[in-house]
Amino acid sequence: MVNAELHTLHDTDGVPVCNVSFDLSAVQVSAAAHAVEAVRLERHRGQTLSTDDVLALREITGLSDELHGLADSHAHTTLLLTLARLVTLHDALSDWVGALDERGWMREEDEERHPLVVALLAPMASLRADAVCAVLGEGAQAPGA
């Protein structure tokens, strides 16, 4: 993950809105797509979904579809995400890594992608914290910071 940038805009009411962009290699996009899809399937499997769960499933499905579309091109890409979508991505990647580490074993396809996803977590967490602070103001403390 390189060239991370914050894009702070203001809506019609003057409230700050933050988008983020960063570059990922083709293998990073593929690894992220794999991890997000795995979390999407596991997180909502066999559950009765509330309205909030349906909205969360919709968001992670959209993100998964976007990443798979980019991964199919086998090219490096620049992602431009809203703060909400960045949070969804970071949470999904973190959950995937945590689940694999907790389980103690990995499938061969997960073993190849695990180090790539782990390497994305720290810079993505930093970008997330910066984006939250940009929206809430300098005095705000980002979760986990």
- pTM here is 0.87
* pLDDT number for residue 40: 94
Give the per-residue pLDDT at 14. 80
Q: Please compute the mean of the pLDDT values over residues 32-42 and round it to a whole number.
A: 95
pLDDT recorded at residue 12: 86
What is the chain's mean pLDDT, rounded? 90
- Residues 13, 73: Cα–Cα separation, whole Å: 39
Residue 144 has pLDDT above 60, yes or no: no
Distance of alpha carbon 96 from alpha carbon 110, whole angstroms? 10
AA letter at 89: L
pLDDT at 136: 86
Domain parsing of the chain, residue ranges: 2-136
Assess whether pLDDT exceeds 70 at residue 2.
yes
- The three state secondary structure string of 128-145 is HHHHHHHHHCCCCCCCCC
- The pLDDT value recorded for residue 16 is 82
In percent, the amount of the chain with pLDDT more than 70 equals: 94
Tell me the pLDDT tens digit for each residue of 95-132: 999 999 999 899 999 999 999 999 999 999 999 999 99
Query: Could you tell me if 134 and 18 are in contact, meaning their C-beta atoms sit under 8 angstroms apart?
Result: yes
Mean pLDDT of 59-81: 94
CA Rg, the chain, in Å? Answer: 16
